A and B are shown apart, each in its own frame.
Chain A
């Protein structure tokens, strides 16, 4: 299937890159990292915070980048782990402290025009995190099942069942109408 083309699967960056090349690779990846983070967090500000943290972590740990792994997979993994850290911190705060208001997600009002983005992000936000990550990696980022499973550190069977469940839930939430299709 074309959408899943290999051009998206691998940023094709030499992983033994010099620090300078790593930085260049990161700049090239930034738009996709932001898209991925936006699918995970829904909130644009949180998404950029997440990307920023991931970039910092990547630069401090360039040595952990494995020679056979594409930079994109490594970075998606770092973004997701940073998000899991944040979710844990929020969960802890929510348990320890009275939550401010029940609707913890507050959409950015400036996005009002992008109604479809909001509808999709609302639906994504209602998925369990593990399904959301699977959907984001495969359907939005166009990664193969194998790459997505590696990033999420789960067997492929687990990835496909999360993906199937996430897909089904999204189809129910978003309805069968696909008027937004180009």
Chain B
């Protein structure tokens, strides 16, 4: 009798109903090749267990025990960040060391702006730093997917922040050599970060995605703010058509590829 590999696998895993199991066992008694296939399945399980079971005997890290004991509300946010930090060294920034100063937050912007011949690209109002002039126009009108090659402002990535705002990264061409990230408020683009953007190693590594031309501080801000995936060309055009104001989106919407809700819980703050 011929059995499919899935049937033999299920037999090895103890998942067959009684009748099929009996049939397999009868065949096993006379068919050495069949027996070998079953043995192969069992051997793999044994190999995996032999490799990973020692983890069971390792002393439990204190931080895990502490997290079981600890106050969940306090630790949750900190630990999500911890995993991101753990992963951070894996994607280093080509220009990381080359950035003399990365300026985060309005308070630090002043000295940079005084030097920056950005042509009035930025104004401060009520303690906020807002885009103006050519920068504001580009943020509002220019699509990342279709921008003139020589434009003074190049838009990088457009995305939704976790607070619902639309945000975009940009690079100012020319002498000013600035890059930053701005999020759309009701009436203006608010700068979240602005940084020196040293000369681009343009031909360094062949194709580089848009975001890779950003200084580290801008990239970090992007990584902190972004919810889900960057906008594709269609979503970007739609957001522009709405004036970059948040659409009424169904609250429970999950990003593409996310597992469907019921069952084990999804994290609502993602």
B263 at interface by CB-CB < 8 Å: yes
The chain A residue with its CB closest to the CB of B83 is A49
Give the number of residue pairs across the A-B interface with Cβ within 8 Å: 215
Residues of chain B within 8 A (CB-CB) of A93 are 87, 91, 223
Q: Tell me which of B15, B83, B91, B260 contacts A97 (CB under 8 A).
A: B91
Residues of chain A within 8 A (CB-CB) of B69 are 23
Residues of chain A within 8 A (CB-CB) of B50 are 116, 180-182
B29 at interface by CB-CB < 8 Å: no
Residues of chain A within 8 A (CB-CB) of B262 are 153
* Inter-subunit contact A1/B12 (CB<8 Å): yes
Q: How far is the CA of A119 from the CA of B52 in the complex (A)?
A: 11
Max chain A C-beta neighbours (<10 A), residue from B54, B75, B80, B82: B80
Residues of chain B within 8 A (CB-CB) of A3 are 45-46, 49
The chain A residue with its CB closest to the CB of B205 is A98
Q: Tell me which of B51, B80, B83 contacts A119 (CB under 8 A).
A: B51
Q: Tell me which of A35, A56, A64, A73 contacts B53 (CB under 8 A).
A: A35
Closest chain-A Cβ to B261's Cβ sits at a distance in Å of 9
Q: Tell me which of B14, B93, B267 contacts A4 (CB under 8 A).
A: B14
Residues of chain A within 8 A (CB-CB) of B76 are 56-57, 60
A61 at interface by CB-CB < 8 Å: yes
* Inter-subunit contact A150/B80 (CB<8 Å): no
The chain B residue with its CB closest to the CB of A54 is B67
B212 at interface by CB-CB < 8 Å: yes
From residue 132 to 147 of chain A, which have CB atoms closer than 8 A to chain B? Answer: 135, 138-140, 144-145
Could you mark each residue 253-266 of chain B with 1 if its beta carbon is under 8 Å from any beta carbon of chain A, else 0? 00101111011111
* Inter-subunit contact B265/A176 (CB<8 Å): no
Q: Tell me which of B55, B79, B222 contacts A38 (CB under 8 A).
A: B55
Q: How far is the CA of A50 from the CA of B209 in the complex (A)?
A: 29
Q: How far is the CA of A24 from the CA of B44 in the complex (A)?
A: 33
Residues of chain A within 8 A (CB-CB) of B56 are 31-32, 34-35
A: interface residue count bin: 35 or more
Q: How far is the CA of A68 from the CA of B122 in the complex (A)?
A: 58
A114 at interface by CB-CB < 8 Å: yes
Max chain A C-beta neighbours (<10 A), residue from B6, B46, B222, B265: B265
Residues of chain B within 8 A (CB-CB) of A170 are 44, 48
From residue 33 to 75 of chain B, which have CB atoms closer than 8 A to chain A? Answer: 40-58, 60-61, 63-65, 67-69, 72-73, 75
* Inter-subunit contact A98/B208 (CB<8 Å): yes
Q: How far is the CA of A139 from the CA of B13 in the complex (A)?
A: 8
From residue 226 to 270 of chain B, which have CB atoms closer than 8 A to chain A? Answer: 226, 229-230, 255, 257-260, 262-267, 270
The chain A residue with its CB closest to the CB of B169 is A96
Max chain B C-beta neighbours (<10 A), residue from A32, A59, A106, A145: A59
The chain B residue with its CB closest to the CB of A153 is B263
Could you tell me which A residues sit within 8 Å of B by CB distance?
Answer: 1, 3-4, 23, 26-27, 30-32, 34-35, 38-39, 45-46, 48-53, 55-57, 59-61, 64, 73-74, 76-78, 80-82, 84-86, 88-90, 92-101, 104, 106, 114, 116-117, 119-121, 135, 138-140, 144-145, 150-151, 153, 160-161, 163-164, 167-168, 170-171, 174, 176, 178, 180-182
Could you tell me which B residues sit within 8 Å of A by CB distance?
Answer: 5-6, 9-10, 12-15, 40-58, 60-61, 63-65, 67-69, 72-73, 75-76, 79-80, 82-84, 86-87, 89-94, 157, 205, 208-212, 219, 222-223, 226, 229-230, 255, 257-260, 262-267, 270
Q: 13 interchain pairs (CB within 8 A)?
A: A46-B87, A55-B68, A56-B67, A60-B76, A84-B258, A84-B259, A89-B87, A92-B226, A96-B222, A97-B93, A98-B205, A98-B208, A138-B13
